Amino acid sequence: MSAIEKLKEIRAVLDEQHVKLIAVSKTRSTTDILEVYNAGHKVFGENRVNELVSKYEELPKDIKWHMIGHLQTNKVKYIAPFVHLIHSVDSLKLLKEINKRAQSQERVIDCLLQVHIAREEAKFGFSYNEIEELLAADELTELDNVRIIGLMGMATFTDNEAQVRDEFRKLTDFFKKIKAGYFIDKDHFKELSIGMSADYSTAVEEGSTMVRIGSLIFGERNY
Ligand SMILES: *Cc1c(COP(=O)(O)O)cnc(C)c1O
Protein backbone atom coordinates (compact mmCIF):
# COMPACT_ATOMS: atom_id res chain seq x y z
CA MET A 1 0.00 0.00 0.00
CA SER A 2 1.29 3.47 -0.81
CA ALA A 3 1.91 6.13 1.84
CA ILE A 4 -1.15 8.01 0.64
CA GLU A 5 -3.44 5.00 0.87
CA LYS A 6 -2.13 4.24 4.34
CA LEU A 7 -2.56 7.84 5.41
CA LYS A 8 -6.16 7.89 4.20
CA GLU A 9 -6.95 4.65 5.96
CA ILE A 10 -5.54 5.91 9.26
CA ARG A 11 -7.14 9.34 8.89
CA ALA A 12 -10.57 7.80 8.33
CA VAL A 13 -10.40 6.06 11.71
CA LEU A 14 -8.90 9.04 13.56
CA ASP A 15 -11.19 11.70 12.09
CA GLU A 16 -14.20 9.78 13.32
CA GLN A 17 -12.78 9.92 16.85
CA HIS A 18 -11.57 13.54 16.53
CA VAL A 19 -7.98 12.46 17.10
CA LYS A 20 -5.22 14.49 15.43
CA LEU A 21 -2.53 12.78 13.37
CA ILE A 22 1.10 13.82 13.52
CA ALA A 23 2.86 12.18 10.56
CA VAL A 24 6.32 11.36 11.90
CA SER A 25 8.68 12.17 9.07
CA LYS A 26 12.07 11.64 10.73
CA THR A 27 14.62 10.10 8.31
CA ARG A 28 12.21 10.63 5.36
CA SER A 29 13.21 12.65 2.33
CA THR A 30 11.54 15.93 1.44
CA THR A 31 10.12 14.10 -1.61
CA ASP A 32 8.40 11.55 0.64
CA ILE A 33 7.04 14.34 2.82
CA LEU A 34 5.80 16.36 -0.15
CA GLU A 35 3.88 13.36 -1.43
CA VAL A 36 1.92 13.25 1.83
CA TYR A 37 1.66 17.04 1.96
CA ASN A 38 0.20 17.13 -1.55
CA ALA A 39 -2.44 14.63 -0.46
CA GLY A 40 -3.59 17.31 2.00
CA HIS A 41 -1.81 16.38 5.23
CA LYS A 42 0.16 19.27 6.71
CA VAL A 43 1.13 18.19 10.21
CA PHE A 44 4.53 16.52 10.63
CA GLY A 45 6.71 15.49 13.55
CA GLU A 46 10.49 15.33 13.81
CA ASN A 47 12.75 14.22 16.65
CA ARG A 48 16.03 16.01 15.81
CA VAL A 49 16.53 19.74 15.71
CA ASN A 50 18.92 19.81 12.75
CA GLU A 51 16.63 17.72 10.60
CA LEU A 52 13.59 19.71 11.67
CA VAL A 53 15.21 23.02 10.78
CA SER A 54 16.47 21.93 7.38
CA LYS A 55 13.09 20.43 6.45
CA TYR A 56 11.33 23.58 7.66
CA GLU A 57 13.57 25.62 5.37
CA GLU A 58 13.06 23.41 2.33
CA LEU A 59 9.36 22.62 2.57
CA PRO A 60 6.15 24.69 2.25
CA LYS A 61 5.62 27.19 5.03
CA ASP A 62 2.09 26.14 5.92
CA ILE A 63 3.33 22.86 7.40
CA LYS A 64 2.79 22.61 11.15
CA TRP A 65 6.00 21.18 12.60
CA HIS A 66 5.90 19.25 15.86
CA MET A 67 9.05 18.54 17.87
CA ILE A 68 8.59 15.09 19.37
CA GLY A 69 12.12 14.05 20.41
CA HIS A 70 14.42 15.00 23.24
CA LEU A 71 15.25 18.69 23.04
CA GLN A 72 18.51 20.11 24.35
CA THR A 73 18.29 23.53 25.94
CA ASN A 74 20.98 24.99 23.70
CA LYS A 75 19.00 24.06 20.57
CA VAL A 76 15.67 25.64 21.44
CA LYS A 77 16.62 28.87 19.70
CA TYR A 78 16.75 27.17 16.30
CA ILE A 79 13.14 25.99 16.38
CA ALA A 80 11.56 28.79 18.43
CA PRO A 81 10.68 30.92 15.37
CA PHE A 82 8.41 28.32 13.81
CA VAL A 83 7.72 25.20 15.89
CA HIS A 84 3.99 24.51 16.31
CA LEU A 85 4.07 22.24 19.36
CA ILE A 86 6.85 20.76 21.48
CA HIS A 87 5.79 17.33 22.81
CA SER A 88 8.95 16.54 24.72
CA VAL A 89 9.33 19.06 27.55
CA ASP A 90 11.07 17.13 30.30
CA SER A 91 12.50 19.74 32.68
CA LEU A 92 11.68 23.14 34.14
CA LYS A 93 15.00 24.37 32.81
CA LEU A 94 13.92 23.49 29.27
CA LEU A 95 10.53 25.10 29.76
CA LYS A 96 12.21 28.32 30.92
CA GLU A 97 14.47 28.34 27.89
CA ILE A 98 11.51 27.80 25.54
CA ASN A 99 9.77 30.71 27.29
CA LYS A 100 12.80 32.95 26.84
CA ARG A 101 13.21 32.14 23.16
CA ALA A 102 9.47 32.45 22.52
CA GLN A 103 9.55 35.88 24.14
CA SER A 104 12.28 37.09 21.84
CA GLN A 105 10.23 35.84 18.89
CA GLU A 106 7.13 37.54 20.32
CA ARG A 107 5.30 34.23 20.32
CA VAL A 108 3.64 31.88 22.73
CA ILE A 109 4.86 28.33 22.18
CA ASP A 110 2.53 25.44 22.99
CA CYS A 111 4.13 22.60 24.94
CA LEU A 112 3.32 19.16 26.28
CA LEU A 113 5.00 17.73 29.36
CA GLN A 114 6.53 14.34 28.62
CA VAL A 115 5.71 11.74 31.23
CA HIS A 116 7.74 8.59 31.69
CA ILE A 117 5.03 5.92 31.69
CA ALA A 118 6.92 2.89 30.37
CA ARG A 119 8.23 0.20 32.64
CA GLU A 120 11.58 0.30 30.87
CA GLU A 121 14.35 2.56 32.07
CA ALA A 122 14.07 5.79 30.14
CA LYS A 123 16.39 8.70 29.95
CA PHE A 124 13.73 11.33 29.42
CA GLY A 125 10.40 12.36 30.84
CA PHE A 126 9.00 13.42 34.19
CA SER A 127 7.62 11.00 36.75
CA TYR A 128 4.04 11.60 37.87
CA ASN A 129 5.32 13.14 41.09
CA GLU A 130 7.65 15.47 39.25
CA ILE A 131 4.78 16.74 37.10
CA GLU A 132 2.77 17.56 40.21
CA GLU A 133 5.77 19.38 41.69
CA LEU A 134 6.29 21.33 38.50
CA LEU A 135 2.65 22.35 38.26
CA ALA A 136 2.74 23.57 41.85
CA ALA A 137 5.86 25.71 41.32
CA ASP A 138 5.35 29.46 41.59
CA GLU A 139 7.84 30.04 38.79
CA LEU A 140 5.44 28.50 36.33
CA THR A 141 3.03 31.41 36.55
CA GLU A 142 5.80 33.74 35.35
CA LEU A 143 6.30 31.90 32.08
CA ASP A 144 3.98 33.95 29.88
CA ASN A 145 5.38 32.78 26.55
CA VAL A 146 4.77 29.07 26.95
CA ARG A 147 1.42 27.39 27.23
CA ILE A 148 1.21 23.87 28.63
CA ILE A 149 -1.58 22.27 26.64
CA GLY A 150 -1.27 18.66 27.76
CA LEU A 151 0.87 15.58 28.28
CA MET A 152 2.85 13.17 26.12
CA GLY A 153 3.80 9.59 26.88
CA MET A 154 5.36 6.54 25.29
CA ALA A 155 4.30 3.09 26.40
CA THR A 156 6.69 0.21 26.95
CA PHE A 157 7.96 -1.39 23.75
CA THR A 158 6.21 -4.73 24.11
CA ASP A 159 3.69 -7.06 22.44
CA ASN A 160 1.76 -7.19 25.70
CA GLU A 161 -1.26 -5.11 24.79
CA ALA A 162 -2.74 -5.27 28.29
CA GLN A 163 0.37 -3.65 29.70
CA VAL A 164 0.37 -0.91 27.07
CA ARG A 165 -3.31 -0.27 27.73
CA ASP A 166 -2.68 -0.07 31.45
CA GLU A 167 0.12 2.48 30.96
CA PHE A 168 -2.05 4.65 28.71
CA ARG A 169 -5.02 4.40 31.07
CA LYS A 170 -2.94 5.52 34.07
CA LEU A 171 -1.74 8.53 32.10
CA THR A 172 -5.30 9.44 31.09
CA ASP A 173 -6.43 9.21 34.72
CA PHE A 174 -3.51 11.37 35.79
CA PHE A 175 -4.29 13.88 33.06
CA LYS A 176 -7.87 14.25 34.33
CA LYS A 177 -6.67 14.55 37.91
CA ILE A 178 -4.22 17.36 37.29
CA LYS A 179 -6.59 19.17 34.98
CA ALA A 180 -9.04 19.37 37.85
CA GLY A 181 -6.57 20.10 40.59
CA TYR A 182 -3.88 22.53 39.48
CA PHE A 183 -3.42 26.06 38.37
CA ILE A 184 -3.24 25.46 34.67
CA ASP A 185 -5.09 26.98 31.79
CA LYS A 186 -8.00 24.55 31.79
CA ASP A 187 -9.41 25.71 28.47
CA HIS A 188 -6.17 24.90 26.75
CA PHE A 189 -5.00 21.89 28.75
CA LYS A 190 -6.67 19.24 26.64
CA GLU A 191 -4.12 17.29 24.61
CA LEU A 192 -2.92 13.80 25.32
CA SER A 193 -0.22 12.74 22.87
CA ILE A 194 -0.17 8.96 23.10
CA GLY A 195 -0.01 6.30 20.40
CA MET A 196 2.50 5.36 17.70
CA SER A 197 2.34 2.92 14.77
CA ALA A 198 2.24 -0.19 16.92
CA ASP A 199 -0.17 0.96 19.62
CA TYR A 200 -2.28 3.81 18.30
CA SER A 201 -5.59 1.90 18.30
CA THR A 202 -5.14 1.12 21.98
CA ALA A 203 -4.14 4.73 22.66
CA VAL A 204 -7.25 6.06 20.92
CA GLU A 205 -9.44 3.71 22.95
CA GLU A 206 -7.79 5.02 26.09
CA GLY A 207 -8.31 8.71 25.38
CA SER A 208 -5.57 9.89 23.03
CA THR A 209 -6.19 13.24 21.32
CA MET A 210 -3.08 13.08 19.11
CA VAL A 211 -1.16 10.14 17.73
CA ARG A 212 2.39 10.23 16.34
CA ILE A 213 2.64 7.77 13.45
CA GLY A 214 5.68 7.22 11.25
CA SER A 215 6.41 3.74 9.94
CA LEU A 216 2.77 2.79 9.39
CA ILE A 217 2.51 5.62 6.86
CA PHE A 218 5.98 5.77 5.34
CA GLY A 219 7.13 2.17 5.78
CA GLU A 220 9.94 0.86 7.96
CA ARG A 221 12.77 3.28 8.63
CA ASN A 222 16.31 2.48 7.49
CA TYR A 223 18.65 4.38 9.75
C1 LIG B 1 9.71 7.86 15.83
C2 LIG B 1 8.73 8.32 16.83
C3 LIG B 1 7.36 8.06 16.69
C4 LIG B 1 6.78 7.27 15.52
O5 LIG B 1 7.19 5.95 15.56
P6 LIG B 1 6.55 4.87 14.56
O7 LIG B 1 6.71 3.59 15.28
O8 LIG B 1 7.34 4.96 13.31
O9 LIG B 1 5.13 5.24 14.36
C10 LIG B 1 6.50 8.55 17.65
N11 LIG B 1 6.94 9.27 18.69
C12 LIG B 1 8.24 9.54 18.87
C13 LIG B 1 8.65 10.33 20.05
C14 LIG B 1 9.18 9.09 17.95
O15 LIG B 1 10.48 9.36 18.13
- Atom 12 (ligand 1): residue with closest C-alpha? 68
Predicted confidence (pLDDT) per residue in 43-66, tens digit: 999 999 999 999 999 999 999 999
| pLDDT tens digits for range 131-142 | 999 998 889 989
With beta carbons less than 8 A apart as the criterion, state whether 193 and 183 touch: no
pLDDT at 222: 78
What's the confidence (pLDDT) of residue 182? 74
Q: Which atom of ligand 1 is nearest to the CA of 24?
A: 4
Phi, psi of 28 (to 5 degrees): -85, 150
Q: Considering only CA atoms, which residue is closest to atom 11 of ligand 1? A: 212
pTM of the model: 0.97
Give the chain's residues under pLDDT 50: none
Q: DSSP labels for 135-181?
A: HH-GGGGG-TTEEEEEEEE---SSS-HHHHHHHHHHHHHHHHHHHHH
Distance (Å) from CA 215 to ligand 1 centroid: 8
Ligand 1 probe mutation, 68, 123, 217, 222, most atoms within 8 A of CB: 68
How far away, in angstroms, is 214 Cα from ligand 1 center? 6
Rg of the chain on CA atoms, in Å: 17
Q: Round to whole Å and give the CA distance between 113 and 151.
A: 5
Give the number of other Cβ atoms within 10 Å of residue 2's Cβ.
11
